[in-house]
Amino acid sequence: MDGIGFTIARVMGLILVVIGLGELLLFGILSWLDAATLESMYPGAEVHRLHGLGQAIIAWVLALCIAVQVWRPREWFAAAVLGLAALSFYTAAAMVSGLVDPLAIIGIVVLVTLVWLHPARRGATFMPVKAVVLLLAAPLIVGAVAFAGAELQIQLAADAADPHAALGHYGALAALAATIVSAVIIGSSSLPGSTLSGWLGVAAAVAFGVASVVFPAAASSLGIGLGLALVVAGLAFGAGLLASRGASREAIDREPYPQRAS
């Protein structure tokens, strides 16, 4: 049965890579170009700088979560769960913004199937949670939830004349914040491959924090102060991941070796 599960996970992962990964990579690259350089080609595009970056981060997180399923899927169950969460949040935010992408809905169905049939699902457990790591992540989680609520409120209250609302940008950043929270919680769990999910959360938080510091006047920017706070919160969570990994290795090293029978 495990052999069948491995085969299903690899085949579905490969299908997602071939069909969806190229689109995700392209979307991530185009969003980053829009965020970084397209203002020189299209005057006025700079107002979407952070929004494009936020969408690119979601695309790259999802792309990595899908790609690792092709190689040793049993070790990356947490990434499959994070990929499903990221795409679900992004699709829900788009729907709230009045935008519907049939491909995203199909992607959710495929990822739900992948998670359900994943060879590591039956033996996986979310507990015990790494309590110290989760405690260090508390400021990051609280800040991300507050930011998601604020962006979603702006999206719902904005009128049609707002170019960001028309494109669903505020909702997309709310989805980014929700993705970061998901990555942090999953990264603090005992699911197989949870550390990768945690580091994706660190990278996403630090990237958006740095962008907010560099572009404090951009739409949806946290500003210099909160941007730096986000960077510090992300790095603190990363330090917790490193400490937890070191503690796990020490615990393994302290385990007594089995004695040979004389």
Per residue in 112-165, pLDDT (tens digit) is 887 887 878 777 777 667 777 888 888 899 999 999 999 999 888 877 677 777
Domain containing 114: what range?
2-253
pLDDT of the residue at 118: 81
Q: Round to whole Å and give the CA distance between 250 and 137.
A: 23
- CB–CB of 129/194 below 8 Å? no
Res. 256: pLDDT tops 60: no
Res. 228: pLDDT tops 70: yes
pLDDT of the residue at 67: 80
Domain count, the chain: 1
pLDDT of the residue at 225: 95
φ and ψ at 255, to 5 degrees?
-65, 135
Domain-located, residue 261: no
When computed from its CA atoms, the radius of gyration of the chain, rounded to whole angstroms, is 20
Between 45 and 68, name the one with better pLDDT: 68
Res. 89: pLDDT tops 90: yes
**Mean pLDDT score of the chain:** 79
Token reading at 120: 């590591």
* Dihedral in degrees, nearest 10, Cα atoms 200, 116, 120, 12: -70
Between 107 and 11, name the one with better pLDDT: 107
H/E stretch holding 156 reads: helix 131-157
- CB–CB of 91/108 below 8 Å? yes
Q: Round to whole Å and give the CA distance between 112 and 208.
A: 28
Res. 3: pLDDT tops 60: no
Res. 13: pLDDT tops 90: no
**Residue 128: cis peptide before it, omega within 30 degrees of 0:** yes
- Written as one string, the DSSP assignment of 236-258 is HHHHHHHHHHHHHHHHHHHSPPP
Of 12-21, 152-161, 240-249, the one with minimum mean pLDDT is: 12-21
φ and ψ at 95, to 5 degrees?
-65, -40
Between 57 and 256, name the one with better pLDDT: 57
Of 12-16, 107-111, 223-227, the one with minimum mean pLDDT is: 12-16
pLDDT of the residue at 185: 92
Domain-located, residue 262: no
Question: How many Å separate Cα 58 from the centre of its chain?
Answer: 6
pTM reported for the whole predicted model:
0.79
Domain-located, residue 179: yes
pLDDT mean over 211-220: 86
Q: Round to whole Å and give the CA distance between 89 and 60.
A: 15
Q: Using one digit for the tens of pLDDT, what is the confidence trace for 171-199?
A: 889 999 999 999 999 998 888 888 899 99
pLDDT of the residue at 262: 41
